[in-house]
Amino acid sequence: MTRRWAAVVLAGLVTAACREAPPPPPGTIVLGTPNSPTSLDPGIGLDEASQRIHQLLFDSLLKIDDHLRIVPDLAVRFESADSQTWIAEIPPGVRFHDGREMTAADVVYTYRRFLDPAFVSGRKGAYRDLAAVDAVDRYTTAFRLTAPSAAFPANLVMMGIVPEGSAATVAQAPIGSGPYRFIEMVRDDHVTLSAFDDYHLGPPANRGIVIKVVPDETMRGLELRKGDVDLVVNDLSPDLVHELSEEPALSVVTGPGTDYGYIGLNLRDPLLADVRVRHAIGYAVNHADIVRYLRRGLARQTPGLLPDMSWAFAEDAFRFTYDPARAQALLEAAGFPDPDGAGPAPRIRLTLKTSTSEAYRLQAAVLQAQFAEAGIALDLRSFEFATLFADIIRGNVQLYTLIYVGVADPDILRRVFHSTQVPPSGFNRGHYRNPEVDRLLDLATSSLDEADRRRAYIEAQRLIAQDAPAIPLYARTNVAVAQADLTGIVLSPIGDLAFLRQVARTR
């Protein structure tokens, strides 16, 4: 490469890196968010930022309603033909953003990718029982399983249908059939979407969405105050929500949520492999104070991953209470005596990784103080989300804090706690193993009787809660802070962004 050509390339890279989002066109809604998506491919992107954009670009066959039941979304018919076959029919006339009609061939292509051994995705574990996907006719698809599975429909929720043959382009220039079309993405700056006027449910009430990346929470609040951002959903700390609620130009909308905040534990770590140490960590957390003060009441205590509004929720599952003395006794029993016998001196030292978000750094500092009372020294490390998430997937952690977003169907228990669901095929990032939990989750997955499934899920939750492979912190309340002149903001329990197509400005 010549020096002159290298200089031209370098200049182009600098220009691209410094490019700012153009002013949004009239009628566009600007959504503030802390992170860029990691992948626009709905078969790959697992982070919250990616899934939010998938909801706007793509349609799924099924969705979760406000009662956490699975109901048709794009599908006009969804039924079980026999114990191992599910049939989905889409309506004629659904158009992709390039004008082509969606057919069963696109549905088949979307799901056959998960059967390809070369396709790498954290979602693949959800489709371990999928044997084949075939088109029955132009609009009907058959999903054939290796074994009966009443839980399989959950895997068709929020899995956007992509056009046949689009694997090479979907991650960078996605074409979907959702209410918005992809225009551009400047990583770590913005994603621009425009209204899709041929959307099968009718055009959006606005002309488009600009997803503006504002990593710093204080800046997100300032952008709201200035009017440069129209809306922030579940991405502001309770303290800042409280401050912004006093601004006359802004409004706050809340609703019961299913997001689950937790401390993740790497059970391959020798210290954390001991259930007594894990229980000591659980008793070191003052859950009530975290909900009351840190979350300003915008959360509720929970014993585990499933929300209390779920039909499979285990009300009687074991719950940790704040008991630092009991935590110290457990550490003593695990072979970690008080080094000086004069109070809560550190018996063990652990490292907690969290994101650079101010809310999570503050949460980590609170946990550090609470752990100290239990004889646990906690070293804190904060990282940009992409780095944090990569470390978690690789197992390069002891403790970490994350949130599962939009928890709804109880099959999530299998994805998170079954021993076969370790990364990269599943979400069992702590490498938890309990053969009885595996058996119960297999039963809950295979049984077609809802009462049997419920019993199996409840018993699995009881065992998981006792084993403490993760420490619950809270179930989060959904919160949107918006310009007061916006209408149509209705938050679903799973905190998705499907409502954005109904949002309009009154002035």
319's CB contacts (< 8 A; 6+ apart) are 301, 303, 465
Domain boundaries, the chain: 24-57+170-255+479-505, 64-156, 257-476
Short-list 46, 52, 16, 47, CA closest to 211:
52
pLDDT of the residue at 19: 45
For the chain, the residue count is 507
Q: Which two tokens stand for residue 253?
A: 């909308």
Q: How far apart are the C-alpha atoms of 239 and 495, rounded to whole Å?
A: 20
pLDDT of the residue at 15: 35
pLDDT of the residue at 10: 32
Paired strand residues for 77: 89
> For the whole model, what pTM was predicted?
0.75
Predicted confidence (pLDDT) per residue in 167-183, tens digit: 889 998 999 999 999 99
64-156 fold: Dipeptide-binding Protein; domain 1 (3.90.76)
Short-list 472, 396, 409, CA closest to 65:
409
24-57+170-255+479-505 fold: D-Maltodextrin-Binding Protein; domain 2 (3.40.190)
Write down the CATH superfamily of domain 257-476: Dipeptide-binding Protein; Domain 3 (3.10.105.10)
Q: Are 487 and 503 in contact (CB under 8 A)?
A: yes
Paired strand residues for 380: 352
Predicted confidence (pLDDT) per residue in 215-259, tens digit: 999 999 999 999 999 999 999 989 999 999 999 999 999 998 999
Q: How far apart are the C-alpha atoms of 402 and 386, rounded to whole Å?
A: 12
Burial 293-324 (b: 16+ CB within 10 A, else e): ebbbebbbbbbbbbbeebebbbeebbebebbb
Helix (H, G, I), strand (E, B) or coil at 254: strand
How far, rounded to the nearest angstrom, does the alpha carbon of residue 113 sit from its chain's CA centroid?
22
HEC readout, 278-343:
HHHHHHHCCHHHHHHHHCCCCEECCCCCCCCCCCCCCCCCCCCCCCHHHHHHHHHHCCCCCCCCCC
Mean pLDDT by 10 residues, the chain (507 residues): 35 39 79 93 89 95 89 94 93 97 98 93 86 97 92 90 94 95 95 97 97 94 97 94 96 93 97 98 97 93 93 95 96 92 82 91 95 96 92 96 88 94 90 98 88 96 98 95 97 92 92
pLDDT of the residue at 439: 97
Predicted confidence (pLDDT) per residue in 378-415, tens digit: 999 999 988 999 999 999 999 999 999 878 889 899 99
pLDDT of the residue at 20: 53
How far, rounded to the nearest angstrom, does the alpha carbon of residue 277 sit from its chain's CA centroid?
28
> Would you list the DSSP string of 45-96?
--SHHHHHHHHHH---SEEE-TTS-EEESS-SEEEEEETTEEEEEPPTT-B-
Query: Cα–Cα distances in Å, from 427 out to 44, 45, 194, 377?
Result: 13, 13, 33, 28
